[in-house]
Structure 1
Amino acid sequence: MKSILLASLCLTCKFIPHIVPFIMQTEKAKSDCSFIHLCQPDLCKSCGACCGLYNYADSGREALVRRLRWRTALFHEIVKDSENLEHFSNLIRGTEDQTRRYEVIYCCEYLGFLDPAEKRVGCLLHPLQNQGRDLRGVSFYGQELCDGHFCPSYHYLSSEEKRTLIAVIDDWYLYGLCVTDIDLVKAYFRLVSDGLFATPRPEKIKMEPMRSLVLKFFELKLVWPYRDPAVNRLGKYYFDGAQYMIDRIDYEALGCEKSRFDPIFLSLSSRFKSREELLAAEKIIQGHVDAFIEAYSSCS
């Protein structure tokens, strides 16, 4: 049973099968002073992707805010002890739209806002939200998996990439989309590193205008003009019931060779109708890369 639950949990964070040993980390890793916590990095944002946050058919910002705001208020109103949790779960699952992009990924009803300012999403059952009582045992994944799961980003993103994302993005919705998109993050930093002939330092990226330039690039996740509007698309994946596949761009049909920005285009769920659209998209990405390289190089 645990293997089935883990498979579902991993898929929410773009699971890569051969790193299963890195998914279930130990308490020693958590206590390591060099450990960078991606789930709840600071008081300004957090990530709820593992809980199925972006798997709802309508996972736009406004829809998710309404969903999380309502269930958070309901939780604090009716959950006084563990005996109320089943009633809460039934209310959420009976009144909210449960349509999913991908049937295999579970959408946890206990995900909500953790602070009055609605800057952080997270588990309403966590002991820090319940005067030290750990209520996660009633959830779909259970206390052990919820507490011990670390998505592939923990392993695949470098320390510099993690620290940069945390320093630059202070929006829970955008942060969750980006920190779990390993291809997008690594492709961007590979391009700027190649242009600089060095890895950009996170402490320098915190400075303006570098911080704003990096943020503007990752905000393409929200405003990309060539994004496929299909509900069953998320990043480079498309879903069909209980099946998921990696999309591909038919460059031959566009009369072009494969773009050097292909990983970025796929992460942005791109769908190009013509060669002209592809060339315009390449110009946008190159512009972001060039702007950062110029600003970083000129900053002493």
Structure 2
Amino acid sequence: MYLSFLLIICYTLPSLLRACPIYLTISLDGKTLQDSHIEVNWGPECHEYPEWIGIFNEDPSTAYVPPEARITDITNSSGKIVSDVKIGKLRFPQGWNNYDENVVPIEYPKGKCLPYYVASFNGTELLTVECLKIQPNWMSKLDHIAQMPLKELFIPGTHASAAYVANLTKTKSVLIKDYVVAQQFDVWSQLVFGIRYLDFSIGYDKIDDVYDSNNADNFYIVNENKLVRPLRSVLRDIKRFVQLSHEVVILDFSSFPIGFYKHPERHSGLNHLLREEVGDIVYIRNTSTQEGSKQCDELTIEEIRKDNKYLIILYPVQELPYPESGD
């Protein structure tokens, strides 16, 4: 038994050492997400190149399937090639699509492969397999990070997170195509893929300054001084996701470029909207000077999730509205 174990190690170790890291990403070249192509990436430090890399719609390690695309002549230690394979209609497992109603999703603490696989080969010898994964539960299921303060965590995030357009073919504006649109995925999909930090710039669209249910939708996501979409619908997607996943998400309200200058009362209106839509799941930090109170970046995931709180809102202190009676 001992000799057999040594023989197995001696046989498999060279294969592991020479295996070249590979992974898939989605290109930004499509006018719609469905038209975007799959990118094959390899490296870094790919010293012994595979003879070829294939893209598959099933796991090639469990069943024989012909590749949808085949890449050869790999001669660099790292690189990227845009394939001819399009992402097509992207569907998540049941319960993790934004349109799934009254469905309790399965939790995937280690991620879940979508039907997009990449594998490297020497001839017919399979070297490595990877897939395009969703990560809807990675934070809440990693026990060892629950006790770590936020400042010690590397949290994946996006810039101008809600600046997306579902179909660029419907606009002829070069400004929108090249500057305003920053994301191809909506906020819900970003969260399902594992993003936990969202960056928002906010604008105000109307003259009416009195907060009520009729003008709450005047608060818009903004990018490059263009109004993109109402904030309320984005907040509702975020709330639904964290209630399903029990993940902690950081919302960074980084700037207010439209409609807020010399209108501090609009920050009060925005504060009302945030309380109305997500107030019950926002962590409220203890701001007292008593011993034991912590700065925001010193909080742990466990402390934030206590009492079913899942959101941290970052808001410029100088813009915060004055406390109002009854709040």
Taking structure 2 as the reference length, the TM-score comes to: 0.24
Taking structure 1 as the reference length, the TM-score comes to: 0.26
Structure with greater helix percent: 1
Relative contact order higher in (CA < 8 Å, ≥ 6 apart)? 1
